[in-house]
Structure formats: structure tokens, C-alpha cells
Structure 1
Amino acid sequence: MTPENTAPAARRAAAALAFALCAALPAGAQTLNADIKVTSLAGLAMPEAPVSVDQSGRKMSVTNLDAPPRYGSDGYLYAISNQRSGSNPQRALRMKPVAGGSYEAAAVAAVDPATGFNEQWSLASMLLRRPAGGFYGLARTVTRRVAGPGFENGAVFTFEWGRTLDALPSLAGKLSSPGGIALAPDGTLFGTLSDLANGLPGRIYRIDPAGVHAVLYDFPLAAGETAAQAAGGAWPLALTVAGNGQVYGVAGSGGAPRADKPGETPAGVLYRMDPASPAALSVLHTFVPSEGSLDDTAALAEGRDGWLYGSARAGGAAAAGMVYRIRLDGSGFAVLHTFGGADGKFPSGPLALAADGNIYGTTRNGGASDAGTLFRIVTARAGEAGGGFEPLYQFRGMPDGKVPVGLTAGDDGRLYGATRNGGPEYQRAVQFPPNSPPETVQSDGGTLFQVELDALKPGATLSLSLSAEMVTVGTQALLSWTATDAANCEASGTWSGAQPVTGTLALTPPKAGSYGYTLSCDDLLKGGKVAASTTLRVNPAAAVVLEPQSAGNGGAAGPLALAALALGWAWRRARRR
């Protein structure tokens, strides 16, 4: 439900003028390793967050992401929310990766003008950046209520900012239970699906850059077998395209019994497929419950060291999940770490290969607040005792969010993630009636966050400040900035264009509202970007109050006139209600 549906009228008027922004987390608040820094970029679903307005003038926010944001070629972060309903549009967000910055929101589902109902997309993966621009995504189901055939099956879709989601027609209605998607460097998309109800334990397909779809491999199922008995695996899930051109993936059921694990039922497989000869797909490893059980939160990522790294949500002595690795040739499988709760519980979401060559991931729960954790595998020490595992950060729920949903790597050398729930507590300035105290509000729509890997290394600095953060219409404020060890500064938000590394700008906004100013510059020391943001809040000009005229009797009528004016104002206000 949007804030407009829940706030009293006076607060709705105040919300149109006052926008609260999120600040960076306190340094090292729950950080367990000093060389990384976790920064909150935005709290989602905040009623006063700066957001865009749809065609009907409704203010939109974005809530409860199920996948981390993807860094776009334009330097923005992009994500799509699963939150939607028949009359409220499903939304995407984009924002510059700046602490305290603002995000834009836009509806991404087509609307039937006759009924007002929207398409509903149940998303199954993070976005993948297309070489040709925009993104690919995967939906578990799509419900259409617009012209054309409706379907409940999944879809591979394309997404570009400012456009609605567009399902690839070659697969429309064919993805009954989609598993995952992966993108090759040449733009070829590989994906998995299953249809157990109709006797299909699994399928691997390909979509070339021109959008042509082809079936590469169907997982076999002998007569009378169940999916759990399929020696070659069933229910394919996550997959990845390795540097050797091979497709690697996991399936959450089936597998051949293992002689070294007597009495344990197979719980899924890890496989390899050569796209040039898909019929020769081979099983590299069969999982058993004591190692890990796979579901749709499983993840795979290739390291720079010739190993494939993965996670399973369950498994281990505490049944809290594990992280493993295996060589690309199928040898050397090893469980690197099993989670126990204090160090995390239930790893889920994408693993990320970071600029430092290590593998980073998140757990949905665990840690001191049971709100999830951030961890890494130091690949150079993965063969040692402890498997190279390092706990890095514990989420607290407020203000940094809870239930993190994985990580992606940005072009700026940093990692980016999202939490599904939790978020900051903030004050909403209530201006009607006048002189009302600020109201404290807590958000539970999740957060966006950034992970800086070399926090101890000196980098560029950038300051951006206002001479006054709140003014009235017609009053001037001075915006000042200074950057050191930086170059190529670019403005965004209310202002735009290239800017010098040091400067000032006189601001006189023409109307009441909230004006966000962001500046980002190239970091000449660390690489990537350094950025800063600030917001100018402009209130309406003060109303002119007329002094009452004297009645000629020493001013005795003055208080009576004021009282009459006050009663008249109260009566008119009551009539409007």
C-alpha cells in the first residue's frame, strides 16, 4: 500500500514537500573485518524517499527486493521488485551508488486501460546485463490481463529503463518451472526449466543474441522413476558459463547413490555441458544431505583460480548451509565451510567474484541479530584448514536491513547488494498543522548497500555541502564542493553535466519541494568513483498575517477580532474534512 493510502491528509501534504534521505552506516558498526566497509545507500519503501511519479500522478516507492541490484553500463544500479498487485504497478528502481542519495522508481508492468489491472511478474533471478544494452531477467510466472493471450508460465524478459518488461516471444508459455539463466560473453543466454507434472525432469535451453530459442538437453527419466531417482539429476537450478566456454549447473534432485556415503539418499547433482555437444552432458558430483541440499537459492561462481565455487542453503551439522568448490574438470570437490548460525545461516542469492579475486556471499539469517551476514572465501587459502572462510559483517535489521539476498560486482570495483526487509528509522517533518513535532517512522522495505573492499587504502575525497539545507521559496542557498585526487566530475539529480573538481553554485529553486544534488568523480587513487550527495528542502513562502484594526477603544476589540478569525479558520477546516 502506498503512503498516500495510509497517511492522514495533513501528512500527505507534508510528504509532498519533505523527503528524508538515508545516511551511511556508522563506521564499523557490525563490521568484523577492517579492510571492508559496508555502506547503506538507501532505505526502500520510505514514504518520503525521492521517487518518480507515474502517469496518474501517484508517488511510487520500491520495496522488498528478492535479488541484488545490477550495475548498469551508465553507472546506475538497477533492480526490480516482486511487490505488485492488480491495481498497484510492479516497479523498478535505479540510483547512483551514493550514500544518502535518492532513487527513481518506475512502473514496469503493462496496464489494461479497461480494467486498470497490471501484468504481474514473479521474478526468479537477478538482472543480467546484455552486451547490446539493457538487461535480461527471468520470471517464474507471468499473469497477463491485457490484450493478447494470458499465461501463468514463466518468461525470459528484456528490460530497459522507461519501458515495460517484454517477454521473449520464442519462450512465451513454455517455462513451466524456470530454474536459472546465465549469459555468455557473446550475448548467448542459457537457461534451465523443469515440468515434473508432465514428465519433464529438466531442460537446458539456449537463446542466441537474435532471440532464437533452441532446446539443448532434456534430463532423462526412465519409466517408473521419480525425479528423486533420476541418476542424471532433475530440477535444474542455477547455472553459469565458465571461461572455458562450458556450462556448469546444479540440479536440486536426483543423482546416483554414492559408495562413500552409504545410506544417504542423493540430493542433487552438479553437471557440466559443452554447448557444442550438449548430449554429452556429464555429472561431476552428486550431493548428499550431510553435504548440502539444493534449492532455488543455490549459487555458482567461477573463481580466477580454475575452481568453481557454490553454495547450498541446507546441509552441515547445523543444517544451516555450506559453501563448496570443485575444479572445472570435476576433480577436488570439497566443502569449504558449513554454517552454524553465529557465522550465518542459509546462504542464498548470487555469489560474486570481486575485484580482489575472492568470492563473496550473504546468508539470509544468522549472526548476532539473526538478520543475516556477509562473508567471503579467500581463494588463495581455500585449500587450507578453514577453507579460506572469513565472516565480514552482521546485519542488524535496523538501520541496515535484514535478510540479504546476495551480491553483484560493479564496474567500479565495489560490490552491491540488497536486503529484503528491515531498514532505517527516520524522522518525517510534519508541517500541517504548523509547529507539529517531527514524527519517527521505521521502514521495513529493505535496503540497498555497497561493499568497499579496500577500505583501508587512501582514496579520493569529495565534499558537497549547502550553506542552508532548508530555505523558503525565493531564498538563495549556496552549493559548494571540493574534490582531491579526483577528475571527471559529473553532476546528477536536480543538476547535470560535467563540473570542475572545485566550485560553487547559487541555487534559487522556483517552487517548494525537495531538490537532490549528487556529484561523482573518478577516484585517481583507488579507481572507481567517489561520490557525494545533499538535498535542499524548499518550503513555501510564509503567509502574510494582517494586523487587526483598532476599534478606537484602546484596542479592546483586537483580541476579539483575532478570536473570531481563529474560530472562522477552525470552522472552515472542519467543513473541508
Structure 2
Amino acid sequence: MSVLTKCRFPQVIGATLCVIALSTLGFAASENILLALKPSQGTYPLGVIFDADGNLFGTAYNGGEYGTGSVYELTLSGGVWTETAIHQFGAGQDGKFPVGIPVFDKAGNLYGTTPQGGSYGCGIAFELSPQGNGVWSEQVLHQFACGIDGNAPDAGLMLDTNGNLFGASGSGGTDGYGVAFELSPLGGGRWKKTVLHNFGAQEARVPGGLLAIDNQGNVYGSTYYGGPSNTGAIFEISPLGNTWKEKVLHYMGGLDGSAASSVVVDSAGNLFATAGRGGKYNRGTIFELSPAAGGSWKFVRLYDFGTNPEDGECPQGLLPAPDGSFFGTNEGLGDFGFGTVFQFSPTGEGEWTETVLHSFNYGRQDGGYPQGPLVLDKLGNVYGTTVSGGPVGSDGLVYEITP
């Protein structure tokens, strides 16, 4: 099995507004390989997240006891990281092939999705709860019933301040082009699923990536397809009384980029994201969408990958840092052809600088092809995963970058 990435979608070249962005050649950031994943525990890792105690948790898309993935924990003791699979997917009517990083609630429970498995074969939303002594129990929150219920949720879930979970599926719904949904706790272990929007043939369609939520409860995301060039869109879904209203903020394509990633929203309501293809060099872009007068949004292309000769291609999303910069990864290219980790920093007056922190070198037991979101620790170190590489006998690894 393999995960379909946004880099595999078609692109068209056109024109758009762009600000000045400078490039800086990579400098001596250091990489530390925390752990190479073994097939028995799960392989093809897709991002990690910290718990309150500093342990790392992530999903492995493949491998494990049943060959259909796992959720694992990494704990640090005596300078050595140890991996434990806290749940193995694939038994009975369980989900299969988990995607996206899990998300924690305040009580330490983990939530996520699988695009396959379950009673109907179209995936599940799940909760993993700690029971003590390293034991975790799984509760299936929702079995996706295919058809109008939505199929194959493929990017994980986001949690709002009220404990509601938001996600998207890239197929199914009333028109077959995917849905955005909410899962709300009812008490007693029961959950209610609500479809917020059915994506249709004549608009933005086939949502992908994590959703983002602003402080007003508005939900933002991206789609693979739709628009004049059929290269995707950025959308907003807003609460309106007892219902929700969807609005396309911008159609992608041309120099804007295509195959947009998960969106992040800042405290001022500005949206930032990457596009996996398109741009000046057809290697992807970084862009910003800002609220403007009359309910419109202003699109600004901030950076074209390929400006820096060490750049990678197919950026996989952005992680905001406290200093106003962003960290991100490119799935391919870089110095050795296996992807990069980069930092994108504001320099004042609307200018930005992109710096390559690390180029992955698969041929020297390093990882290759980074995928999944990044996470920061309290010291500003960056953690992530690659879906391939590592020492012989492993398949993917968890790494730390110290800028």
C-alpha cells in the first residue's frame, strides 16, 4: 500500500501577484535520527505529536501485527528513544492504514482516522484512551458507511476548544466529491457525526489535508480539484445558526500553485499554506490569504520553490513557530533528491527568507521523502518523519532537526 500525495496531481501555469522572497543557502542545522521504524511495530510513519510529558506519538500507515498500520509511542530514557506500538490496526472490524498525526484532548486521549477498514470498508474515526501501565483501549467513534456518509477520511482530525472533532473525506457525499464533517461528544461514550458540507462537481471538490479552525469557529481547508484550471481551491465553512455555509476563498492554479496543503491560520485570521506544484519553477509555492474589504480575500504568493538551488519540491505544509517563521518539508529534490526541511522567515516590509535546514540523503542511512506534519519542542527543535530510509531492515524514521 502507498499514500497518494498531492504532488501527483496535474498543474497549469498562469499568472498571479507575488511578493519579494529571498533565498538563503542551507546552513549547518544538525539532524538527529531518533528511531528507525521496524515492520513489526509499523512502517511508513506520517508525522508525530508530543504529549504533555514530552513523549512522541505517531501513526504508521503500514506494517504492524496485521500489516495495516499502528499508532506508536516514542519514550526517551537515558538518551535513547524506545518505540512501543500502543494499537495495532486491522483486527476484525477495526480500521486499516491510519493517516495523519493523532490529536490529543486535555485528558490525554488520542483521536484519528483510517481511510479503510471498519464495518463498511470505508474507514473509521477512533479514540485511544490510556488505561495505565502502558495499556491503551480503542473506541470506534464512527464507522464511515460509504456513499453519502463520506468515504476514506484521509488526513486526521482537528479538535476545537469544546471537544468537537473536525475532518474531511475525499470521496462520497451526495455528489461523490467528498464531505467536511464534525464529530461531537454526546456523553456516555456516544458521538454524533454531522456533515458540514457536501463538495459538488461545479465547485471546490475532493478535500485533502487537515482542516484549520479560527477563534470564531470558522473551518478552513483545501481541495485537490475544482476551479477554472481544476487544480483545487481554499475554502471556508462558517457556522450559520444551526447550519454551516461554505465559501470558496481562492481557486488555485498557474503561478499560484496547485495541490495545496493543509491550511494554518494565525491570530489575525490570515491563512498560510503551501502548494505542492506550480509556481515559477513548477516545484511548489508558499502563499498567504488575508481577509480584505467586503468579505473578499487577498492572495499573495510568498515564495517559489526552485529560487534556491538547494530547494526541494512538493512542499508538504507549514508549522508556525513562535517567532513568526514557519518550518516545512519538501517531499523530493534537495541536494540528494530525497527531500528537505526548510525554514521560512519574515525579514520585514513584506519580505521573507527561505533557508534549507537539511537535505535528506537516503543513501547514507538517512531518511527519504519526508511526509506528515512537523512539531516543535520547547527549545525550538523540529521533529518529523520520513516514509522511507533508515538503516537496513527499517522502513521510515523519526528525526529531530536543531536549527
- Would the TM-score normalized by the shorter structure come out above 0.5? yes
Q: Find 2:98's aligned residue among 178, 183, 187.
A: 178
Query: Equivalent residues in 2 for 1:239-250 (5 A)?
Result: 239-250=157-168
- Amino acid in the other structure paired with 1:213: E
Q: Where does residue 171 of structure 2 map in the other structure?
A: 253
Tell me, yes or no, if structure 1 residue 399 matches structure 2 residue 327: no
User: Which of 290, 300, 306 is matched with 1:390 structurally?
Assistant: 300
The partner residue of 2:229 within 308, 318, 321 is 318
Q: Which amino acid counterpart does residue 345 of structure 2 have in structure 1?
A: E
Counterpart position of 1:105: 33
Shift of the alpha carbon at 1:416? 0.5
Structure-1 residue corresponding to 2:70: 155
Between 1:100-109 and 1:307-316, the stretch displaced more is: 100-109
Please list, as runs of the form range in 1=range in 2, the aligned pairs for 1:493-512 lying within 5 A after superposition: none
Residue 335 of structure 1 corresponds to which residue in structure 2? 248
Matched, 1:234 2:145: no
Query: How does 1:54-203 map onto structure 2 within 5 Å?
Result: 99-110=27-38, 121-123=43-45, 125-143=46-64, 150-160=65-75, 162-169=80-87, 171=89, 173=91, 174-180=94-100, 181-195=102-116, 199-203=120-124
Candidates 268, 273, 277, aligned match of 1:361: 273
SS at match of 1:255: coil
Conserved 8 A contact 2:120-2:144: no
Structure 1 residue aligned with 2:343: 450
SS in 1 for 2:63: strand
**What's the offset of the Cα at 1:362?**
0.6
Cα distance in 2 between the residues matched to 1:456 and 1:185: 39
How big is the shift at 1:344? 0.2
Letter in 2 for 1:246: N
Deviation at 1:209, TM superposition (A): 4.5
May I ask how many residue pairs the two structures share in their alignment?
323
- Offset of residue 351 of structure 1: 2.4
- Distance in 1, matches of 2:281 and 2:115, equals 37
| Displacement of 1:417 | 0.2
Q: Which has the larger radius of gyration?
A: 1
Task: Classify the secondary structure of the residue corresponding to 1:212.
Answer: strand
Match for 2:126 among 205, 213, 216?
Answer: 205
Matched residues in 2 for 1:377 and 1:137: separation?
A: 30
Q: Tell me the CA shift for residue 196 of structure 1.
A: 5.6
| Distance in 1 (alpha carbons) for counterparts of 2:203 and 2:110 | 30
Counterpart of 2:180 (choices 260, 265, 270) is 270
Indicate if the aligned counterparts of 1:37 and 1:455 stay in contact, CA closer than 8 A.
Answer: no
Return the alpha-carbon distance in structure 1 between the equivalents of residues 162 and 24 of structure 2. 35
- Residue 326 (structure 1) shift: 0.9
TM-score normalised per structure 1: 0.51
Asked whether 1:33 is paired with 2:19, we answer yes
CA distance in 1, matches of 2:36, 2:103: 22
User: AA paired with 1:293?
Assistant: R
Distance 1:451 1:218, change over 3 A: same
Q: CA deviation at 1:240?
A: 0.8
In 2: Cα distance, 1:457 partner to 1:231 partner:
44
Cα-to-partner distance string for 1:122-149 (whole Å, 9 max, x where unaligned): 12x3222222212221121115xxxxxx
Describe the shift of the 1:368–1:235 C-alpha distance in structure 2 as closer, same or farther (beyond 3 A).
same
Write the mapping of 1:406-445 to structure 2, written as runs, cut at 5 A: 406-424=317-335, 443-445=336-338
Q: Are the equivalent residues in 2 in contact too, given 1:155–1:175 (CA < 8 A)?
A: no
Give the whole-Å Cα distance in 1 for the aligned partners of 2:304 and 2:317. 14
Q: Tell me the amino acid that sits aligned with residue 108 of structure 1.
A: A
Whether contact under 8 Å (1:362, 1:372) holds in the other structure is: yes
**Distance across 1 between alignment mates of 2:169 and 2:106:** 24
For residues 184-230 of structure 1, the C-alpha deviation after alignment (integer angstroms, 9 at most, x for no partner) is: 3443221112436963323211123543321222233xxxxxx3xx2
Rounded to whole Å, the distance in 1 between the matches of 2:23 and 2:196 is 36
How far 1:158 sits from its partner (Å)? 1.6
Gaps of 5+ in 2: 1-16, 352-378, 382-401
1:217 is the counterpart of 2:142: yes
Residue range with higher mean Cα deviation, 158-167 or 266-275: 158-167
Per-residue CA distance 1:236-256 (angstroms, 9 max, x = gap): 233211223211111222212
Aligned partner letter, 2:113: T
CA distance in 1, matches of 2:293, 2:315: 24
Distance (whole Å) between structure 2 residues aligned to residue 245 and residue 39 of structure 1: 41
Structure 2 distance, partners of 1:337, 1:456, is: 24
SS at structure 2 position matched to 1:342 = helix
- SS of the counterpart of 1:346? strand
Partner deviation per Cα, 1:289-343 (whole Å, 9 max, x = no partner):
3323336x42311123431110112222211111101114553310111112221
Letter of the structure 2 residue corresponding to residue 270 of structure 1:
A
Separation in 1, partners of 2:350, 2:227: 37
2:260 alignment partner, one of 330, 342, 347: 347
Provide Cα deviations, 1:381-400, integer angstroms capped at 9, x if missing partner: 38633x23221111017322
Higher helix share: 1
In 1, the alpha carbon distance for the partners of 2:40 and 2:117 equals: 29
- Per the alignment, do residues 383 and 322 of structure 1 end up closer, same or farther by CA in structure 2, a change over 3 Å counting? farther
Aligned-residue CA RMSD (Å): 3.2
SS of equivalent to 2:206:
coil
Identity, in percent, stands at 26
- Do 1:290 and 1:317's aligned partners in 2 also have CA atoms closer than 8 Å? no
Q: Which moved more, 1:414-423 or 1:200-209?
A: 200-209
Tell me how far 1:402 sits from its aligned partner: 1.1
Report the alpha carbon displacement of residue 164 of structure 1 after superposing the two structures with TM.
4.2
Instruction: Check whether the contact 1:154–1:175 (CA below 8 A) recurs between aligned residues.
Output: no
